[in-house]
Chain A
């Protein structure tokens, strides 16, 4: 509760209202006293001593009233020697008189010095030196109107003789709120020359009030009073003491007031001139200041003290104005500034003080905002005050159990009882509850919160019982009060109690009178005004959040705190002060100043009713940001408090304090809600609390950093400003993800690293709508050396510029960069550069240990519809000679074959030197052409005729096969090994093998395994396309019954619909349709020609197709089934045409159905149109035409080139090709030409092969030193390479198969001494086995990242997906088997084999031993011979990389460790130990 008006600030924290008396030190009225002397002045030198009853810290000011008029000799009253404890005074006749003066009555009033606010009236008490001249006395600024000034001479500087002073009259004039003039007059006969005297004065605001419990009234009359006796009315004020002084000097003759006929409501006064010069005593009319103070009210017998205090959550001591014998204190209910349930607690009650605090219930934190609490303090006892009966007392020993209280004197009917717990025996928060109130007493008990145990230590409860009715205190003008109780109607809901009359600036104390609802509860005041109060019953929530409380009765006491004669709620003094009629009850509702506040509202709000008050305005953030794109307006609310009338508030808008981000008037328009421009002001309508200023952004197409605006309020006559300005911004667009802008930079070599790095990658920035934050990603690979740092730079020139911010090392995404200004660079500078304004730009660069100032950089550009720039053309390939040439030849053959032999390396190197003038590129080119010119070695032929041999050797017959004698699928697998090991057409086979790891079928599927002829034919068709076209390959693959089986397009049929509903009962199989796109051709995501992903505006990849495309394409692959089948067994299973769509698998060793392409069965084919990948296959086509059209769409997709290029590069040379490498390979593939020659057919794999093998990145030897160059060799290839390098052989000659029909043309594809390699399933031991991929995804995923430094460096390592701890050891062990023994292929020995070891593959250890021995024989040391041996193996196994890397490196290194170990090895260990140790080095495992 905050009572308006009459509230004064005592300290910064505490506000109090004093009603009847000074109630505490904190709220004290000034110290004063008064009285009336009756004195007979015998001699002029006699002085009377007065002793103060109050204690003053310094000499107070004493003023004396007019003398009564018993003795007609003119005289003044003189005061001297004022100390803190008393003063002296005398009746001072003018000098011309005799000095004796008969008995007169004179009143005195003493008040401490200072400016005192007494209930809104200012008592300014001071002293000054005054002489006969005018002295100006400035008044304190708290005066708002002219006060009544009462001067008193209080020194005796001028004397006739000792102790006989010259009588002086202080004359006051020109009194206004700011100052008055004062002079001293002596008798006219004198010269006017006398020393200055000290004059005390009290200046009092006109009005009525009380000083402590004493009523007073101060008045400035009109110019009415002269030498004639006239009456001044006041009060009535009982026992009035009257002080009158002149406020004007209309008459120049010395004069002073005398009085007679004093009553409680009037006094007669007249001006008395002295007659020293003449006897004339007429005096002009003067204005009089009148101050009347009465005796304490009757109420003070009870030491009644009623006041309102701000109570906090800490104990505050309240000093009482009286010394009580047994003070009774009742308090509350508190206001509700703080919503936490709380009670009032009083303790430490002494005769002169008590302590009080707000007590939150115990379950709360105890911290509570201050609340206004009204209190009544009274001496215990029974009284009749203002017409009503009061009874105050204490009930001691109150606990949670009900205790009775008995009134000292009983009431005729049940009174209202107000109570307060006034001790603190128990620390728990507690509420007292009354019940059973009767005329003689009541019950009371204590409630703790529900969460406590319910018991509480005994406390004393103070109570005051009041007779119900209307009363009037015998105070200033009579303050009305009321005592009443409500019916049983007050609950936890807001209850408005209308008082039925107005109580100006009311004081309100209330208490629950009933306990119908036993839940602990207390009252709270929600609002209080002159005519009504709003209350609730507030429960605590320690246990239950249910705060509903059933009906109770509330008893209350309400009193006016200021005199209100007309009972309109306005204090009389206030009415008088403001020109209203204190006796007109109708003026409370008037609004003289037209500000829509009634006078009552003005009074209660502490406002001036005659001054238009538009209220106080400030600014509140509404919507701080405006956005150009959305046209979203910013909004600043002009808020008005304490005002109702319409006002126009002036304001300005500027760009704020920071010039770097300031907007200007072209960026916005200030408007009202309707969008109308505002011209520097805005209207707050009548009764509105606010109006909104909108800042409408002006849209432009410039990329802008947020610009600031600021709204500033201007002062105005009709309102007050509080809180001057609010800022906001104008941005391009909101930070909706849809407004993100993608900036993409493709990494390229920093200028300093051009030609020296194969690093590439892509960096992106996704910049939010406001251009204040970017989410960055960086992905790159192929650095020459380890990354050191990465930054975003701003280019201040085309060459580059300073760092803007560091970014994380390694690959990252979603790195937040808050774009902020830095020294010398504004946010707008950065945005400009990001958008490549003025030829400048931002770029991200990656630094490495080799290129410390940056190896690669990506210049950001706005990605609108995709970003692609053609990768730079690589530098020319450096010619090589000597060891370097040998190394690159070895590398080339490792990349292009199943592994080189020493002889092949030598032969090709010699060929280059001899036939190509040392131009290895020409030599390699020729070698590739020569290789592709070789006849294809077919897996089918080997498989079929090896089976024939076995049938023959087994004496069996495929027509009558029985399981025990079956060759099964073994020869298909063995054929792969033999071809890989020994066929001449190594390039085709190697590239074909890579293709077979893309266009996958796997013997993991039963029919692929068992239909081995079909599988072999399939493999041959794939291998055969290593110099064919994609379009041809994909068609043959799609028609292959093996693929048809593997990915279930075989016997796939069009939808079957429910004949009734039309719903699809059976839909075409989608498997092949999905994988042909995802894995064989276009992949999932749209790519640029260099294999980088196309990104949409949100920086996200774009899907190449959706499931809708798949279901459409699935319908293309319907109706396909076997074209051939076998005839009857009786006819020897001849091959015949098939006409049955659902033909079965057929006999095991007669597989024409699997060996021949499928054909389409029209009945099962869906001939509706199909739309996919942005193309359409027309309706009505037959199956073949459908397939052609669909494959044309696929083959025509721009992804095919980069998609296949990356996969084939990964299989052959490098796991992490640069985008340039991919681009060049893709271009060769798409054009069918490499380096100007080739078939010219689109999608040509021969051109792709050349592009892969002859590229700068494949052939630059120095690049192979880079930290990420090359690839891990597939386990199968590691193993095959070892055998090829060391000429591993079995004892079974391939040529033997010639006897069983193996074509001579095929046999010619091998060396004459070629043997066979009859390996079993190597999946477990090598994690790979030919045509046994785990799924159509192959063994190796192109995007596999193994984690660790490899992934952190942005590298993929597909082969490492198989490099598990256990698999790695298995592989090593398997290579050891080959090295240390036979390889153990004796199982499944060929029937008729002469010994079980014929199948064993033995590497040429004797050849190596001979090499070593020859060195020794030639005089070499063991160390030299070992080094020769190791270097020989180095070239064939790791292209000389070992020596090149470690030849000059400090030991220990892998090479030195191998050499040292072999030097120390026994003779039997030297060869095999060398092979073993080399094979386990990472240098062998990786192809570089």
Chain B
């Protein structure tokens, strides 16, 4: 386990003090997490109820051009700015005289104060919005401190900025850690999972943090490890027959056959502790894989696969993104086998780094995203879990408002900053635009810079994620989001980002 920073430790102790648990004297520098768990279990009594909640984080890698996901329409105060700034990338309103039939037109979102639309490839998202299953949180991004355009342009205030703005890898990590001003140690999902586990929520051998998209930063915790499965679930070792029938007898013992002995040797070798740290780390993963294979398989078997598959088919959702969400849906549906009553799922969709050929490419991405979301939402409703499940998108950043080319066939956009995110599910206060929609002005308003239209976020990742974390039942948001206090409380009655009903 990674050593926690002393700073966090002190924070914890302060928290203890505030919680009027002064009798729980802390002596010495013992393992921080042990303290945390001790405290949680003493404070949270019964925090591990039998209720179930799952948070799904869908990361749009590459930086989704959300300027073209949530789009102002005619009548929106930013429409003219949008049209002027986007140039060949613009998705115009069909009432615009410059709109021609073969151009795309954004699909109107009904029920918003200002007229908004979504990308023409996102009809399912418009429907979800109308059905109050989905909302947008506008202009979210990595922030170390609340800043203004004047701050951004003031070189003396560069220390207020997240480092490596506009860099994919760094911004992806900062989104996942929520701590843009610190070196990466743990992700917000991992820290949340640590706390949820520590507060007595039911858990099983399968981690509370399940990833459908390989190892990620979001789910790195101090005590919780992430468990990666594929869209097909866990993968068994081949060569031992279905359900290892050729290697294992009915009572779970190894058969005294070549297969049985080989599997036993396999398990023995991977069960041995190695001094060499990388070797040992590898062994643990293999062993974990073997341990969890059965559990995952059981969950899938226990799920209502038919209803879930049907929901995705009906939604015409067949991409790898949809497949990830489909597996998540099955693990949620079959959760009785997993035994966790809190779960954080991570999945991802790539291809958003649309530096070129954006008009065509982004439409495809938006359609994939929309159908996948629709399929997932339908599946959750079909298996009766929709009220227990919330999905939220993350993305490196949005992209520059202005294009980097003159041809609508080839032009793309470059790395921006604050962008619009989607939140979906029963717990979401649906059919709304949360947050503060940016002024779509270049070299003015919310532009971080002078020429491209990179929005200074009005809502920090901390605020955005904290709403989800709070819904999930994280008892101490300040532990999971240490910088949250620098920003307006997203849960206060005056907050415009509390997207949970």
- Which residues of chain B from 147 to 200 have any CB-CB distance to chain A below 8 Å in the complex? 163-170, 183, 185
Instruction: Tell me if A811 and B405 are in contact (CB < 8 A).
Output: no
Taking the closest CB of chain A, its distance from the CB of B480, in whole angstroms, is 17
Instruction: Tell me if B3 and A810 are in contact (CB < 8 A).
Output: yes
Binary interface encoding of chain A residues 1329-1349 relative to chain B, with 1 for a CB under 8 A from any of its CBs, else 0: 000001101000100101111
Binary interface encoding of chain B residues 234-245 relative to chain A, with 1 for a CB under 8 A from any of its CBs, else 0: 111111000000
How far apart sit A1074 and B264, CA to CA, in the bound complex (Å)?
51
Instruction: Tell me if B234 and A1071 are in contact (CB < 8 A).
Output: no
How far apart sit A371 and B449, CA to CA, in the bound complex (Å)?
65
Contact of A1272 among B166, B282, B402 (CB under 8 A): B282
- Which residues of chain A from 1044 to 1076 have any CB-CB distance to chain B below 8 Å in the complex? 1045, 1047-1048, 1051-1053, 1055-1056, 1063-1071, 1074
Chain A residues closer than 8 Å to B211, beta-carbon distance: 1364
Instruction: Tell me if A1337 and B3 are in contact (CB < 8 A).
Output: no
Instruction: Tell me if A1482 and B276 are in contact (CB < 8 A).
Output: yes
Chain B residues closer than 8 Å to A1377, beta-carbon distance: 238
Contact of A1364 among B10, B228, B414, B443 (CB under 8 A): B228
- Which residues of chain A from 999 to 1055 have any CB-CB distance to chain B below 8 Å in the complex? 1045, 1047-1048, 1051-1053, 1055
Chain B residues closer than 8 Å to A1269, beta-carbon distance: 276
How far apart sit A1460 and B272, CA to CA, in the bound complex (Å)?
16
Instruction: Tell me if A1069 and B278 are in contact (CB < 8 A).
Output: no
Q: Which stretch in B48-56, B127-135, B286-294 binds the other chain?
A: B286-294
Instruction: Take A1268-B276, A1346-B215, A1361-B215 as given contacts and tell me if A1064 and B167 are in contact as well, using a CB distance cutoff of 8 Å.
Output: no
Instruction: Tell me if B282 and A1360 are in contact (CB < 8 A).
Output: yes
Instruction: Tell me if A1349 and B269 are in contact (CB < 8 A).
Output: no
Instruction: Take A1348-B1, A1365-B234 as given contacts and tell me if A1482 and B265 are in contact as well, using a CB distance cutoff of 8 Å.
Output: no
Q: Number of residues in A with C-beta < 8 Å to the partner? A: 98
Instruction: Take A816-B7, A1365-B292 as given contacts and tell me if A1380 and B265 are in contact as well, using a CB distance cutoff of 8 Å.
Output: no
How far apart sit A1480 and B230, CA to CA, in the bound complex (Å)?
21
Interface check A1241, CB cutoff 8 A: no
Contact of B405 among A1053, A1215, A1357, A1364 (CB under 8 A): A1053
Taking the closest CB of chain A, its distance from the CB of B9, in whole angstroms, is 9
Supplied contacts A816-B7, A1373-B235, A1453-B272, 15 more A-B pairs, CB within 8 Å? A808-B3, A808-B6, A815-B5, A1067-B404, A1069-B414, A1070-B414, A1071-B355, A1078-B167, A1142-B407, A1269-B276, A1357-B281, A1360-B285, A1373-B237, A1373-B239, A1482-B280
Interface check A545, CB cutoff 8 A: no
How far apart sit A1454 and B282, CA to CA, in the bound complex (Å)?
14
Taking the closest CB of chain B, its distance from the CB of A397, in whole angstroms, is 46
Chain A residues closer than 8 Å to B236, beta-carbon distance: 1369
Interface check A1376, CB cutoff 8 A: yes
Chain A residues closer than 8 Å to B278, beta-carbon distance: 1215, 1268, 1270-1272, 1350, 1355, 1357, 1360, 1482, 1486
Q: Which stretch in A231-239, A872-880, A1462-1470 binds the other chain?
A: A1462-1470
Chain A residues closer than 8 Å to B164, beta-carbon distance: 1084, 1103
Interface check B225, CB cutoff 8 A: yes
Interface check A1368, CB cutoff 8 A: yes
Chain B residues closer than 8 Å to A1069, beta-carbon distance: 355-356, 404-405, 412, 414
By beta carbon, the residue of chain B nearest A1487 is B278
**18 contacts across the A-B interface (CB closer than 8 A):** A785-B275, A814-B5, A1063-B443, A1063-B451, A1067-B404, A1078-B169, A1103-B164, A1142-B407, A1142-B410, A1268-B276, A1335-B61, A1346-B281, A1347-B220, A1369-B289, A1461-B261, A1477-B265, A1482-B276, A1483-B279
Binary interface encoding of chain A residues 1348-1376 relative to chain B, with 1 for a CB under 8 A from any of its CBs, else 0: 11111101010011111111111011001
Interface check A722, CB cutoff 8 A: no
Instruction: Tell me if B87 and A1348 are in contact (CB < 8 A).
Output: no
Interface check A500, CB cutoff 8 A: no
Interface check B121, CB cutoff 8 A: no
Select the residue from B278, B289, B292, B451 with max chain A CB neighbours within 10 A.
B278
Select the residue from B229, B234, B452 with max chain A CB neighbours within 10 A.
B452
How far apart sit A1191 and B278, CA to CA, in the bound complex (Å)?
38
Chain A residues closer than 8 Å to B167, beta-carbon distance: 1074, 1078, 1084
How far apart sit A814 and B356, CA to CA, in the bound complex (Å)?
42
How far apart sit A946 and B285, CA to CA, in the bound complex (Å)?
40
Chain A residues closer than 8 Å to B288, beta-carbon distance: 1365
How far apart sit A1053 and B225, CA to CA, in the bound complex (Å)?
46
Taking the closest CB of chain A, its distance from the CB of B225, in whole angstroms, is 6
Chain A residues closer than 8 Å to B289, beta-carbon distance: 1365-1366, 1368-1369
By beta carbon, the residue of chain A nearest B227 is A1365
Taking the closest CB of chain A, its distance from the CB of B437, in whole angstroms, is 21
Instruction: Tell me if A809 and B10 are in contact (CB < 8 A).
Output: no
Chain A residues closer than 8 Å to B5, beta-carbon distance: 812-815
Instruction: Say which size band chain B's interface belongs to.
Output: 35 or more
Taking the closest CB of chain B, its distance from the CB of A1457, in whole angstroms, is 5
Interface check A1476, CB cutoff 8 A: yes
Interface check B442, CB cutoff 8 A: yes
Instruction: Tell me if B268 and A1457 are in contact (CB < 8 A).
Output: yes
Contact of B402 among A1067, A1215, A1376, A1476 (CB under 8 A): A1067
Contact of A1366 among B62, B235, B404, B442 (CB under 8 A): B235
Chain B residues closer than 8 Å to A1055, beta-carbon distance: 451
Instruction: Tell me if A1349 and B281 are in contact (CB < 8 A).
Output: yes
Binary interface encoding of chain B residues 424-463 relative to chain A, with 1 for a CB under 8 A from any of its CBs, else 0: 0000000000000000001100000101100000000000
Binary interface encoding of chain B residues 338-357 relative to chain A, with 1 for a CB under 8 A from any of its CBs, else 0: 00000000000010010110
Instruction: Take A1064-B402, A1363-B285, A1469-B262 as given contacts and tell me if A1347 and B276 are in contact as well, using a CB distance cutoff of 8 Å.
Output: no
Interface check A464, CB cutoff 8 A: no
Instruction: Tell me if A1454 and B272 are in contact (CB < 8 A).
Output: yes
How far apart sit A1051 and B409, CA to CA, in the bound complex (Å)?
12
Interface check A1452, CB cutoff 8 A: yes
Binary interface encoding of chain A residues 1098-1127 relative to chain B, with 1 for a CB under 8 A from any of its CBs, else 0: 000101000100110000000000000000
Chain A residues closer than 8 Å to B293, beta-carbon distance: 1369
How far apart sit A814 and B350, CA to CA, in the bound complex (Å)?
35
Select the residue from A785, A1045, A1074 with max chain B CB neighbours within 10 A.
A1074
By beta carbon, the residue of chain B nearest A1477 is B265
Chain B residues closer than 8 Å to A528, beta-carbon distance: none
Chain A residues closer than 8 Å to B17, beta-carbon distance: none
Instruction: Take A1047-B355, A1351-B2, A1352-B1 as given contacts and tell me if A1063 and B442 are in contact as well, using a CB distance cutoff of 8 Å.
Output: yes
Chain B residues closer than 8 Å to A786, beta-carbon distance: 275
Taking the closest CB of chain A, its distance from the CB of B268, in whole angstroms, is 5
How far apart sit A1233 and B469, CA to CA, in the bound complex (Å)?
55
By beta carbon, the residue of chain B nearest A1452 is B268
Interface check A1485, CB cutoff 8 A: yes
Interface check B284, CB cutoff 8 A: yes
Chain A residues closer than 8 Å to B268, beta-carbon distance: 1452, 1457
How far apart sit A1110 and B167, CA to CA, in the bound complex (Å)?
11
List the 7 closest pairs (A to B, CB-CB), nearest first. Answer: A1364-B228, A1482-B279, A1365-B289, A1048-B355, A1461-B265, A814-B5, A1069-B404
Instruction: Take A1103-B164, A1364-B214, A1469-B262 as given contacts and tell me if A1372 and B237 are in contact as well, using a CB distance cutoff of 8 Å.
Output: yes
- Which residues of chain B from 191 to 224 have any CB-CB distance to chain A below 8 Å in the complex? 211, 214-215, 220
Taking the closest CB of chain B, its distance from the CB of A1269, in whole angstroms, is 7
Taking the closest CB of chain A, its distance from the CB of B57, in whole angstroms, is 17
Interface check B47, CB cutoff 8 A: no
Chain B residues closer than 8 Å to A1365, beta-carbon distance: 227-229, 234, 285-286, 288-289, 292
Contact of B403 among A814, A815, A1066 (CB under 8 A): A1066
Chain A residues closer than 8 Å to B442, beta-carbon distance: 1063-1064
How far apart sit A1468 and B350, CA to CA, in the bound complex (Å)?
46
Instruction: Tell me if B262 and A1065 are in contact (CB < 8 A).
Output: no
Chain B residues closer than 8 Å to A1063, beta-carbon distance: 442-443, 451
Interface check A1267, CB cutoff 8 A: yes
Taking the closest CB of chain B, its distance from the CB of A1474, in whole angstroms, is 10
Contact of B238 among A810, A1271, A1376 (CB under 8 A): A1376
How far apart sit A581 and B99, CA to CA, in the bound complex (Å)?
104
